């Protein structure tokens, strides 16, 4: 299995996505921002990956729903639980989602404030205009990065959220501690692999290749 270093969200992970939509949405909503009042969102990132994250989301294209920063921001603001949908089947494309997606633009920005962090990190600056007011955020550390490490509780919470979307309970015997034991104990590795196999079968029935 090939190790993947980066994230997309605290939820599902695409290695090069730039913006932590959960953090953006949470911080703006904490400021009292109403998603319905948003007029525009401009995401500025180093030119090296601006093209990738500006990809339009398509209901029948799994990878596009993961790399599209516009779609991830819309989910973070309006349907946060949907970000934990591993299969990406049945994702929401309701009018409010598509309307917010249409308000997001991506601009290449090779200023030192962003490029200085790249490629060790994938930073972004976000400017939101709503009700005539400007809101700005700059994201350097994403969930899972060295500055925002996920502890065992956060990993377990993430797993529980992914399973909950599929209507599953967290199975006994799978935990960060159990995964650690599997690294050195072949029997533990076989046991946890079998449990994960059952989970993947439930999450994505009839689908063997879940790579994107």
Task: Dump pLDDT digits (tens) for 92-150.
Answer: 999 999 999 999 999 999 999 999 988 888 888 888 898 888 888 888 887 777 788 88
Comparing 13-22, 52-61, 134-143, 182-191, which segment has the lowest mean pLDDT?
13-22
Q: Which residue has the higher pLDDT, 118 or 178?
A: 118
Comparing 44-48, 76-80, 106-110, which segment has the lowest mean pLDDT?
76-80
Q: What b/e string do you get for 100-135 counting C-beta neighbours within 10 Å, with b at 16 or more?
A: bbebbebeebeeeebeebbeebbbbbbbbbbeeeeb
pLDDT score at 24? 67
pTM attached to this predicted model? 0.75
How many other C-beta atoms are found inside a 10 Å radius of the C-beta of residue 171?
Answer: 15
pLDDT score at 85? 86
pLDDT score at 160? 80
Q: What does the radius of gyration of the chain's CA atoms come to, in whole angstroms?
A: 18
* Strand ranges of the sheet holding 133-139, from the earlier edge strand across to the other edge: 104-108, 38-45, 124-130, 133-139
pLDDT score at 47? 93
pLDDT of 181 over the 60 cut? yes
């Amino acid at each position: 299995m090939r190790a993947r270093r980066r994230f997309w969200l605290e939820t599902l992970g695409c290695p090069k996505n730039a913006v932590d939509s959960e953090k953006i949405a949470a911080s703006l909503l904490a400021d009292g921002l109403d998603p319905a009042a948003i007029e525009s969102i401009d995401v500025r990132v180093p030119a090296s990956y601006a093209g990738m994250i500006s990809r339009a989301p398509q209901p029948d294209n799994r990878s596009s729903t993961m790399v599209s920063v516009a779609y991830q921001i819309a989910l973070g603001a309006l349907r946060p639980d949907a970000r934990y949908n591993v299969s990406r089947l049945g994702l929401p494309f309701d009018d409010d989602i598509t309307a917010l997606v249409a308000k997001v633009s991506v601009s290449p920005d090779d200023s030192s404030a962003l490029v200085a962090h790249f490629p060790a990190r994938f930073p972004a600056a976000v400017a939101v205009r709503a009700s005539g007011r400007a809101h700005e955020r700059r994201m350097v550390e994403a969930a899972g990065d060295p500055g925002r490490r996920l502890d065992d509780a956060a990993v377990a919470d993430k797993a529980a959220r992914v399973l909950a979307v599929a209507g599953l309970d967290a199975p006994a015997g799978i935990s960060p501690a159990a995964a650690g034991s599997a690294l050195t104990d072949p029997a533990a590795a076989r046991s946890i692999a079998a449990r994960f196999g059952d989970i993947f079968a439930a999450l994505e029935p009839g689908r063997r290749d879940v790579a994107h």
